[in-house]
Every structure is written in structure tokens, then in C-alpha cells.
Amino acid sequence: MSTFIVEGGHRMHGDITPQGAKNEALQIICATLLTPERVVIENVPDILDINNLISLLAEMGCKVERLSPHSYAIQADNVNIEYLSTPEYRRRAAALRGSVMLLGPLVARFGYAVLPKPGGDKIGRRRLDTHFIGIQRLGATLEYRSDIKSYEVKADGLNGCYMLLDEASVTGTANIVMAAVLAKGTTTIYNAACEPYIQQLCRMLSAMGAKIDGIGSNLLTIHGVDTLGGAHHKVLPDMIEVGSFIGMAAMTGSEIRLRNVAYDDLGIIPDSFSRLGIAIERQGDDILIPSHDSYEIETFMDGSIMTFADAPWPGLSPDLLSVFLVVATQARGSVLIHQKMFESRLFFVDKLIDMGAQIILCDPHRAAVIGSGRLNSLKATTMVSPDIRAGIAMLIAAMSAKGTSQIQNIDQIDRGYEGIDKRLNAIGAKIIRVTD
């Protein structure tokens, strides 16, 4: 387990370019299994989760060519389906959440998939009902095999149908879309997730020859085709990383220019930071965050306390609430953070309370933050990163704190943020990585 030693109190100054979006890249890489032809993907982030997924595909027999540090060509023309029955496959697939999206493409193209309980953040219950019901509705059968602690999914051809999803699951929608593109006839998915990750997946599938209507909405109509071909796709900048840097800049009083953020795909994120009192200057496709001596949280128009709650797109991503929470501790004013989707994502506030933040954890889903208006800066401490986004929030807290903090288990941060220590040190942060 590696650790970050973070010397707090340094202001950063300079430019930073967001990496490609982790959650989009996971979908896109899985979609390469839908064709025997070569697919080229650009702007792939060099992070643990992505590298693990790419090497899993290589183990399955896909030809993987790294064209540059952030672009790959993947060709699934010789997939070894027997590999799915090996303990090695189950071990690797279980290590990352993104592997759940191998299900749709494997069933659609090969009629067979094995799905061990996927990894990813332990942030609460993460059920897979939407995935399973959707794939079953298309005609696949599903059996839980206790001997290998995995689901085995089989299909002898899939058939399109109408389905109303029980929830707008992001990876669930991706799985069903990837299965439906090769199903016979028309599939209609209502209450589909429509995050930019899903929009981008649909665009790439369309470039491969799929017929998809309603991209960007929660009603997708997919007319199945017999085969898909190769394509060239560029992953969008990671909107969660963009949000993390906005929060980090404000909290540390730094002036940072975020380059090429794909502003129009950030949805409600910039306005949400503005409501926290953070000045965001859009300059073309860049965002400039000027140095803040202070920032003040707005109230709602009727004067009631501001609330940030997560919601499926175009609502606020649950992946940014930890950042909003930590940044609010140094604002003037108060805010309620309401994490509706996951029940274990707010427990890290204990550490912020140890550091001197005024936070009341009302229940597992809600935390009230009373900003100190920078009157009392946070005090350094030692903490363990429980998940990616709590990890980045802890890093932001440590960077703004007085003294030197330690963050252990930073593999959790590395899962989603590329070389974060190097990139921040280049603009003035003081972060040392200690690898055991």
C-alpha cells in the first residue's frame, strides 16, 4: 500500500489538462469486443482501472497495441472464450467495477459470459438487477454458480424488446445498449441513463455501424444490426477530474487554468461550484479559477440552506459530492450534502472532523457542513483513503491544511486519477509518494 505525504498550505499556479474520462473509457474498451475489426481509442487515461481492463482484454486474446501513452488500438478477432472459465479471469474481473460491462458485448457476440462479483468502490450496495433483468429481457439466461462464485450467462441469439428500467443505472444502460446493438429487431430502453459516458458510447457504436436513436435522452431506440465494424473514438475529458480540480483550486487559494475541459459536456457542474461561491471563468474551452481568498455559499432564493444532492444525469454526479463537501468546510456559510445513491460514501467525514471541520453527519446519506470562512484552517492528520472520491477529498483537505498529512491506501486514488502527485507538484503542490 502506497502513501502520500502532503505538506499543506502551498498555493498552486499554472495549467492542468484533465485526463480522459475513466467511466467513459471503461465502456468504450468493453465495446471493442463487439467487432472483430480494429478500434482505435484516443485520450485513454493511464490509470489502474483502465490498465487492468486493457490487460484483461489482452489475456482474453484481443490484440492490444499502445499507439502512444494515451491511445490504443484493440482488435477482438481471436477471443478465447475458454479463458472466461479460468480462476485467473475471475480474479482479474473481480478486481474492477468496469468489468461488469464485459457482460453485454460478450453475450451479444459470443452468446456466453461469466461475471464474478465486480470490484470497485465499497460505497454502499451496488446492485446489478438492472443489468441482469435487461439482458434477460433480450433473451439471455442467467445462472449463479456457487462453485465459482460467479454468474454464468448464455444466449442463443438475442431479440429486441421494449424495456422500462427500474433505475437509470449507468453501467446497466451501457450493458443493455451493447447487447441490443447486435440483437434481432428493435430494442427500446426507457429510463436509460444518459450521462455523457453513455452518449459517447452510443456515438462510438454508431460509428461502428449501430443504429441508435435518442442519444442524450432517457429513451433510446436501437435497431439491431448483424455485425459491427471498426471505428476511431476520442474519450471526453473526465468531468469528475475537472470538478475535483475546481474544488482543489478554490480550497487551496490557487490560480489554475484547466485546459480543454469540453465545457459544454460538463452539465450542471460549473454552476454548482458557482453556488458554492467559487468564481469560474470560461475562456473558450478552458476554465480559469482565479485565486480565492474567500468564497461564500449561496442560499436558495427563499433564503433556505443550500443543498447539493446527487441525481442521474443531467443532475449532479454522486462522484463529486465528496469534493463539494470538503470545499464547503472552508467556505462562508452552510450547506447540506445529500448523497442519495450510495449509503457509505460520507463516512470519511470523520477524518475531516478530526482535522477541525464543522460537519454533522446526520445519517449515512446526509451531512451538514458549517463553513469556517477560513477562520480556522484544517489541521494535518493521518488518514486512509476508503474510495476514489473520498481519497481526492482527503487530498484536497491535506493540501489546504496546516502541517504535513499522510494519506494511506492511495491505490484508491490512483484507480481514477492519473499521476495526480506529479501533475499537482508541477504547479506548486508538495506531495511525496512513498511506496512500500
Ligand X SMILES: CC(=O)N[C@H]1[C@@H](OP(=O)(O)OP(=O)(O)OC[C@H]2O[C@@H](n3ccc(=O)[nH]c3=O)[C@H](O)[C@@H]2O)O[C@H](CO)[C@@H](O)[C@@H]1O
Ligand Y SMILES: C=C(OP(=O)(O)O)C(=O)O
Annotated binding residues for UDP-N-acetyl-alpha-D-glucosamine, as ranges?
Answer: 97, 319, 341
Q: Name which of 282 and 340 has its Cβ closer to ligand X.
A: 340
167 binds, among ligand X, ligand Y, none (CB under 5 to 8 A by kind): ligand X
In the block, cell 440552506 appears at 305
State yes or no: residue 389 binds ligand Y (CB under 6 A): yes
Interface residue with ligand X among 98, 105, 243, 386 (CB under 6 A) is 98
DSSP for 322-346, written as a single string: HHHHHHHTTSBSEEEEE--S-SSSS
Q: Quick check: 247 binds ligand Y (CB under 6 A)?
A: no
Distance CA 269, CA 320 (A): 9
Residue 45 in 3-state DSSP? coil
Residue 310 in the binding site for ligand Y (CB under 6 A): no
Across the beta sheet with 231-234, the strand order is 63-68, 71-75, 38-42, 231-234
Residue closer to ligand X, measured from CB, 199 or 317: 317
Dig out the grid coordinates for 215 from the structure: 442519444
Binding mask 195-224 for ligand Y (x = CB under 6 A): ------------------------------
Query: Which residues within the stretch 403-432 sit at the binding site for ligand Y (CB under 6 A)?
Result: 416
> What is the layout of strands, in order, in the sheet containing 286-289?
13-16, 255-258, 286-289, 281-283
CA 213/CA 223 separation, integer angstroms: 9
Which residues, at least 6 apart from 427, have a Cβ–Cβ distance to it below 8 Å? 12, 13, 14, 15, 16, 254, 256
389 binds, options ligand X, ligand Y, none, Cβ within 5 to 8 A by partner type = ligand Y
Interface residue with ligand X among 25, 53, 140, 170 (CB under 6 A) is: 170
Binding mask 177-216 for ligand X (x = CB under 6 A): ----------------x-----------------------
From 19, 23, 244, 412, residue interacting with ligand X (rule: CB under 6 A) = 23
Is residue 97 part of the contact set for ligand X (CB under 6 A)? yes
Q: Evaluate whether 154 touches 110 at the Cβ level (below 8 Å).
A: no
- CA 304 centroid distance within chain: 31
Site for ligand Y in 52-91 (CB under 6 A): none
Q: What is the spatial distance between Cα 287 and Cα 258, in angstroms, rounded to a whole number?
A: 5
* Sign of the CA dihedral running 336, 341, 345, 347: positive
Residue nearest ligand Y, CB atom distance? 120
Partner interacting with residue 45 (select from ligand Y, ligand X, none; CB below 5-8 Å by kind): none
18 binds ligand Y (CB under 6 A): no
Binding mask 329-368 for ligand Y (x = CB under 6 A): ----------------------------------------
Cβ-proximal residues to 206 (8 Å cutoff; 6+ apart), any chain: 212, 215
Task: In whole angstroms, give the CA distance from residue 270 to residue 280.
Answer: 7
Query: Per CB under 6 A, does 241 bind ligand Y?
Result: no
Query: Is 126 a residue that touches ligand X (CB under 6 A)?
Result: yes
Residues of the shown chain interacting with ligand Y in the complex, contacts defined by CB under 6 A:
22-23, 97, 120-121, 123, 319, 388-389, 416
Residues of the shown chain interacting with ligand X in the complex, contacts defined by CB under 6 A:
23, 26, 97-98, 125-127, 167-172, 193, 312, 317-319, 341
